[in-house]
């Protein structure tokens, strides 16, 4: 039997995880001399490359010294914790990658906690030791303190450490001795990551992932814990609820390099894909046909946020999208539920609206952006935090927030967070910068990032992770400025925009098509203001000096999808189409909005 190592790579966003995986693939000689794979080999998704983060967990394997190493690349962002939780079940060890300057970050803690609870031993890689002002020894101590605070066992605390620079392609056991390859890391994986402990017994495999092939359909992916799997072998599928169904494995695949290779038999300990089993979900067990035994299912943290997804009913409905009906949206959300473990969808009292629950604004915005690129048109409501009643007490999700920013701007940041019911936990100087740690309700984080970046001239680096549910903290002040709302359908005329610039900041370009009820800017005052920017200049046969000066328009503010979702108020939607993002009022006509206000008060 071939020796196998299954290792998951854990790291915070921007610590060099995907770059390290690239170098490991090159060291495993997956590419011929004539091939030039480029960078970010594993981040194949368009959004992953654009955002510079890993969103989907992926498997790849290399051969080194006669051993097969299955590498599982995990997301570093806490919003994609659902991906992390399930793939860690396939690993026998974790490679914890930490920046030699920044040290362990909040989301490193989040994923590491999951790994330690599963009993996985860490192999620590301190990356970017070629950075100026880096402190590898201090970071090593910080990693030890992190493990200790997470109640790691003595064996887990006695972790081996490798130092190096993934970008420059070297690793070493001593950060002062630069080598010319990353082989010391691969040797450490063979030495310290244990082979899968194969128990005695018949076939058992936990479904930890689902892959969909347009040629053959759904495939169950997981690590074969014990026994063997053979093509056309009769099996039993055991659901999370314990319901048993007879099944058969029609085809089996294992990972080699980036691809899957069809095999007749899979040995215990290897990660494989099974085709032919029907009706499986993540967390189900594929077991022996005669004496089936279920494995413990995957526990998933609950969602903390919800948004309303509804059909686009604006005057521009159907102009840009291909899938626009409620049936299209419902089918797409149902398909997403199969592979996105942390997602939940509920139907509402309206057939056109669906309430979608997720881990955070980024988690749901990635789904919205994916749907948008596939040709869907829809409208999204304001993110709402999930509030529970526990033992008669109203409770809400609370997060740990870390802000890294220049020392002289710390007062501004502390003031902004405390206004949103945040409590400061610590303040750690780091050269000319300072790291602030807070505990803050999830409600307070919505819309904080863009305000924080504006107040700190883009210097602040914000990270946050869900901590627990705590008693409700009271009201948090929302957006102070009202909206500028279009009065008419038509084109935005530069002359009108110029005359109304003192009213606030615009979100639209000159000559852009707009409609009644669209939010086209932010009012400089608190109330909403309805304005007409479709009015053209009246022509006369008189000429006067100075009247025809060129209009100087302030460039409009353009939102990313996340910024738009965090910006809108409760009575507004983000209209999402394949080509545009627009903000609009839920009720487009002013008379309807006023009638609604009268009913409320």
CATH number at residue 589: 2.40.50.250
DSSP for 51-92, please give it.
HTS--S-EEEEEEETTEEEEEEE---SGGGHHHHHHHGGG-S
User: Could you give the dihedral angle defined by the CA atoms of residues 578, 583, 587 and 589, in that order, rounded to the nearest 10 degrees?
Assistant: -100
Flag whether 17 is marked binding: yes
Flag whether 14 is marked binding: yes
Whether residue 138 is found in the same domain as residue 228: no
Whether residue 8 is found in the same domain as residue 151: yes
Phi, psi of 366 (to 5 degrees): -65, -40
Read off the CATH number of the domain in which 227 is found: 2.40.30.10
Flag whether 370 is marked binding: no
Residue 282 included in any domain = yes
- Boundary (domain end) residue, out of 192, 227, 245: 192
The rounded radius of gyration (Å) of the Cα atoms in the chain is 27
In this structure, are residues 83 and 112 in contact, taking their beta carbons and an 8 Å threshold?
A: no
The rounded distance, in Å, linking the Cα atoms of 67 and 7 is: 13
Whether residue 179 is found in the same domain as residue 209: no
The rounded distance, in Å, linking the Cα atoms of 244 and 293 is: 10
Residue 374 included in any domain = no
Residue 343 included in any domain = no
- Boundary (domain end) residue, out of 192, 220, 244: 192
- Boundary (domain end) residue, out of 267, 287, 307: 287
Please state the domain count of the chain: 4
The rounded distance, in Å, linking the Cα atoms of 285 and 291 is: 13
Flag whether 19 is marked binding: yes
Flag whether 594 is marked binding: no
In this structure, are residues 590 and 597 in contact, taking their beta carbons and an 8 Å threshold?
A: no
Residue 97 included in any domain = yes
Whether residue 188 is found in the same domain as residue 272: no
Whether residue 428 is found in the same domain as residue 490: no
The rounded distance, in Å, linking the Cα atoms of 287 and 249 is: 11
The rounded distance, in Å, linking the Cα atoms of 203 and 229 is: 7
Residue 94 included in any domain = yes
Whether residue 11 is found in the same domain as residue 98: yes
In 3-state terms, the chain is what percent helix, strand and coil (to 5)?
Answer: 25, 35, 40
Read off the CATH number of the domain in which 411 is found: 3.30.70.240
For 343-371, write each residue's pLDDT tens digit: 889 988 888 899 999 877 878 888 898 89
Q: For residue 249, what pLDDT is reported?
A: 85
Whether residue 423 is found in the same domain as residue 449: yes
Whether residue 232 is found in the same domain as residue 180: no
Q: For residue 12, what pLDDT is reported?
A: 65
Whether residue 23 is found in the same domain as residue 166: yes
Read off the CATH number of the domain in which 18 is found: 3.40.50.300
Flag whether 358 is marked binding: no
Low-confidence ranges of the chain (pLDDT < 50): 30-45, 48-49, 51-56, 79, 545, 548, 600-601
In this structure, are residues 397 and 361 in contact, taking their beta carbons and an 8 Å threshold?
A: no
Flag whether 334 is marked binding: no
In this structure, are residues 185 and 69 in contact, taking their beta carbons and an 8 Å threshold?
A: no
Residue 54 included in any domain = yes
| HSE, side-chain direction, 13 A CA sphere, residue 489 | 5
Q: Print the domain residue range for 495.
A: 483-538+551-566+582-596
Whether residue 8 is found in the same domain as residue 127: yes
Q: For residue 486, what pLDDT is reported?
A: 92
Residue 362 included in any domain = no
Whether residue 154 is found in the same domain as residue 82: yes
Whether residue 436 is found in the same domain as residue 403: yes
| HSE, side-chain direction, 13 A CA sphere, residue 43 | 23
Flag whether 129 is marked binding: yes
Residue 345 included in any domain = no
E strand map for 348-482: 353-358, 378-381, 384-385, 388-390, 393-406, 423-430, 433-441, 461-471
Q: Is residue 106 helix, strand or coil?
A: helix
Average pLDDT of the residues of the chain: 81
Pick from 508, 458, 451: nearest CA to 484: 508
The rounded distance, in Å, linking the Cα atoms of 572 and 358 is: 20
A 10 A CB-CB count for 301 gives 15
Q: Is residue 165 helix, strand or coil?
A: strand
């Amino acid at each position: 039997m071939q020796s196998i190592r299954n290792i998951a790579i854990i790291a915070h966003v921007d610590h060099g995880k995907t770059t390290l995986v690239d170098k490991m693939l090159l060291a495993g000689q997956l590419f011929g001399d004539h091939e030039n794979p480029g960078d970010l080999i594993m981040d194949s998704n368009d959004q992953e490359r654009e955002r510079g983060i890993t969103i989907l967990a992926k498997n790849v394997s290399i051969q080194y010294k006669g051993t097969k190493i299955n590498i599982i690349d995990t997301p570093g962002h806490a919003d994609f914790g659902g991906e992390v939780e399930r793939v860690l079940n396939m690993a026998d060890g974790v490679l914890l990658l930490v920046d030699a300057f920044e040290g362990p970050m909040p989301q490193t803690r989040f994923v590491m906690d999951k790994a330690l609870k599963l009993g996985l031993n860490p192999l620590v890689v301190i990356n970017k030791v070629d950075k100026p002002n880096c402190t590898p020894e201090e970071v090593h101590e910080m990693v030890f303190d992190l493990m200790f605070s997470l109640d790691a066992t003595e064996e887990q605390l006695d972790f081996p450490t490798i130092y190096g620079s993934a970008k420059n392609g070297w690793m070493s056991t001593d950060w002062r001795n630069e080598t010319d390859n990353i082989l010391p890391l691969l040797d450490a994986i063979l030495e310290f990551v244990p082979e899968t402990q194969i128990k005695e017994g018949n076939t058992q495999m936990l479904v930890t992932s689902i892959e969909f092939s347009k040629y053959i359909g759904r495939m169950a992916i997981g690590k074969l814990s014990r026994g063997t799997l053979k093509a056309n072998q009769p099996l039993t599928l055991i659901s999370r609820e314990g319901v048993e169904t007879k099944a058969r494995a029609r085809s089996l695949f294992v990972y080699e390099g980036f691809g899957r290779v069809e095999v007749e038999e899979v040995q215990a300990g290897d990660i494989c894909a099974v085709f032919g089993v029907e009706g499986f979900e993540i967390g189900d067990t594929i077991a022996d046909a005669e004496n089936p035994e279920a494995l413990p299912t995957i526990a998933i943290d609950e969602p903390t946020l919800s948004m309303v997804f509804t059909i686009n009913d604006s005057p521009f409905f159907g102009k840009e999208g291909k899938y626009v009906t409620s049936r299209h949206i419902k089918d797409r959300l149902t398909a997403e539920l199969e592979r996105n473990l942390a997602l939940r969808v509920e139907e509402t009292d309206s057939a056109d609206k669906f309430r979608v629950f997720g881990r955070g604004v980024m988690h749901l915005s990635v789904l919205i952006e994916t749907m948008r690129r596939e040709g869907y048109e829809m409208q999204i409501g304001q993110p709402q935090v999930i509030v529970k009643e526990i033992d008669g007490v109203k409770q809400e999700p609370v997060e740990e927030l870390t802000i890294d920013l220049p020392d002289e701007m710390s007062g501004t940041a502390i003031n902004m967070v405390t206004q949103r019911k945040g409590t400061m936990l610590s303040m750690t100087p780091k050269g000319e910068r300072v790291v602030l740690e807070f505990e803050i309700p999830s409600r307070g984080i919505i819309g904080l990032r863009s305000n924080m970046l504006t107040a700190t001239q883009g210097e602040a680096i914000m990270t946050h992770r869900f901590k627990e549910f705590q008693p409700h903290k009271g009201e948090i002040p929302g957006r102070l400025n009202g909206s500028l709302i279009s009065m008419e359908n038509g084109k935005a005329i530069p002359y009108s925009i110029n005359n109304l610039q003192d009213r606030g900041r615009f979100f639209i370009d000159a000559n852009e098509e707009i409609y009644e009820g669209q939010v086209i800017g932010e009012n400089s005052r608190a109330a909403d203001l309805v304005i007409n920017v479709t009015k053209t200049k009246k022509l006369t046969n008189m000429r006067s000096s100075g009247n025809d000066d060129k209009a100087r328009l302030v460039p409009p503010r353009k939102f990313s999808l996340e910024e738009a979702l965090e910006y809108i108020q409760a009575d507004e939607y983000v209209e999402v189409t394949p080509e545009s993002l627009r903000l609009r009022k839920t009720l487009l006509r002013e008379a309807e909005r006023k009638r609604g206000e009268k009913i409320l008060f």
